[in-house]
Structure 1
Amino acid sequence: MEASLKRSHHKIFPTHSLSWFLAGLALLYVEAAALLDPLGVPLLPHRMIQDVLQSPFGFHLLLLGIPCCVYVLGWRARDLFAWLWAPHVVTVDDEGLRADVTRIRWRDVREVVEQHAHDRLVLRHAGGTLRLRLDLWSDADALHEAVLSQVVPRLLERVSLQVSAGQPVRFGPLTLGDAGLTHRGRLWRWDDIESIRLQDEVDQGFASRELIIVAQGRTRKFDEAKVINAPVLLAYLSDRLAG
């Protein structure tokens, strides 16, 4: 991507989290009213509180109300809080990424981790770590592609030089070397590896992405979020197997 194609992405309001936030506040208010009513603090009419507590779900409200509030506000509505703290604009160009006062140069990025389940891209660089929540930004797909198109080729060049020099390169649970790929002390030589690909998975409503490696006639699956620099490993192996 050339400097003339510099692009800015503005944060967008997470409307899906607002409903969860309001639901969490409502539940918290009812829970507080039920707990404070015996102390004479009338957050809700006394008769209404009595009807709620005497209903079939009254006991569960007292027992699970607070944990449910924590779950709804702290987990389901987390995008709203992330939006509040996020910078107003993220700008990418051929030199790096800028988010308000934060500036990251592509050449300083050491690791990239894709957290597909959370729609998040984690960049570890010389100055720290940036967790880029893609769903908070306009044209998120273009932002994701722009970052990877700058980071992956640079990291791929470094990995190729390290492997050529006989140095092993770790990718989370996998280690890449000149002889092949090692997992848990077992080496898969290049002739043993048949294919490699990414595959989306949905388990009980939880979406994730897995790195699928077919070696020695067996299929192995690795959570993409646990494979550091997974896009780089995929690019390297794809080129190596194709050549």
Structure 2
Amino acid sequence: MEAALKHTHHKILPTRALYWFLAGLALLYVEAAALLDPLGVPLLPHRWVQDVLQSGFGFSLLLAGIPSCIWILGWRANDLFAWLMAPHTLTVDDEGLRADATRIRWRDVREIVEQSSDDHVLLRHTGGTLKLRLYLWSDPDALHEAVLEQVVSRLLERVNHQVSAGKPVRFGPLVLSDAGLIHRKKLWRWDDIESIRLQDEVDQGHASRELVIVAQGRPRKFDEAKVINAPVLLAYLSGRLAG
């Protein structure tokens, strides 16, 4: 008899976000020192402040300092604030996901969106949306695998039922029907679809993952983050093509 699933994950300090937060505070302090020095508030030695302002990058510091602080603290260091607000533990079992007072049952999840470039998983359920930052938790790979297994299996059952009943199922830009797959009102029949796979892409330093569907001899690429329930579509098409 297969053992019931139950794993507890502990939150982990995002050190990279911490470094960005400290860098943002340092820049904010320097900016404040430059602005307050003419008012006689010596946050830094007066001579040092004057040397900085009279240097080649002094004007740029004053002009871009505050927007840069907002960008660093509001975006690059955002995970640190998420970590501070996160519960100490997160538990995954056969019924759902639990973190302090938050409880999400797998059967209530309607959509799963993979944001692989950010290591985020969005779970849209009957009570709202949960952004699961995988890297904030111990053993993130096992957490990711458990969530996918529980959610995809249930959603796949619903998709099979809808398709068998002749109802179209939308996956973002793609629509699944019993006849095949529809994109921009063009139908790719099952005989037209050769393969489907996930593929990692790097464009100008930005990493992403794409769903690649080879149909009628041509590969079509779709951003995984824009394909609602992409893991479910991948599982359905893989099973359909294999059968």
TM bucket by the smaller chain? over 0.9
In the other structure, the counterpart of 2:158 is: 158
Q: Which runs of 5+ in 2 are unaligned?
A: none
Change (3 A) 1:55 1:91: same
Classify the secondary structure of the residue corresponding to 2:155. Answer: helix
Change (3 A) 1:3 1:35: farther
CA deviation digits over 1:39-82, x for unaligned, max 9? 22221111111100111111110111111111111111111111
Determine if contact 1:2/1:94 at 8 Å carries over to the other structure.
Answer: no
When structure 1 is superposed on structure 2, of 227-236 and 42-51 the one drifting more is 42-51
**Whole-Å Cα distance in 2 between the matches of residues 205 and 136 of structure 1?**
23
In the other structure, the counterpart of 2:226 is: 226
Correspondences of 1:81-120 after superposition (within 5 Å): 81-120=81-120
Q: Which runs of 5+ in 1 are unaligned?
A: none
Report deviation, 1:3: 6.3
Correspondences of 1:17-166 after superposition (within 5 Å): 17-166=17-166
TM-score by length of 1: 0.97
What percent of counterpart residues are identical?
81
**Whole-Å Cα distance in 2 between the matches of residues 80 and 87 of structure 1?**
13
Root mean square deviation, CA, Å: 1.2
Classify the secondary structure of the residue corresponding to 1:124. Answer: strand
TM-score by length of 2: 0.97
**Whole-Å Cα distance in 1 between the matches of residues 138 and 126 of structure 2?**
27
Report deviation, 1:219: 1.1
Determine if contact 1:2/1:93 at 8 Å carries over to the other structure.
Answer: no
Letter in 1 for 2:230: A
**Whole-Å Cα distance in 2 between the matches of residues 14 and 21 of structure 1?**
11
**Whole-Å Cα distance in 1 between the matches of residues 79 and 129 of structure 2?**
19
Classify the secondary structure of the residue corresponding to 1:13. Answer: coil
Number of corresponding residues: 243
Determine if contact 1:122/1:130 at 8 Å carries over to the other structure.
Answer: yes
Is residue 242 from structure 1 mapped to residue 238 from structure 2 by the alignment? no
In the other structure, the counterpart of 1:191 is: 191
**Whole-Å Cα distance in 1 between the matches of residues 102 and 226 of structure 2?**
26
Which runs of structure 1 show a deviation greater than 2 angstroms over 4 or more consecutive aligned residues?
1-5
Classify the secondary structure of the residue corresponding to 2:73. Answer: helix
**Whole-Å Cα distance in 1 between the matches of residues 154 and 52 of structure 2?**
61
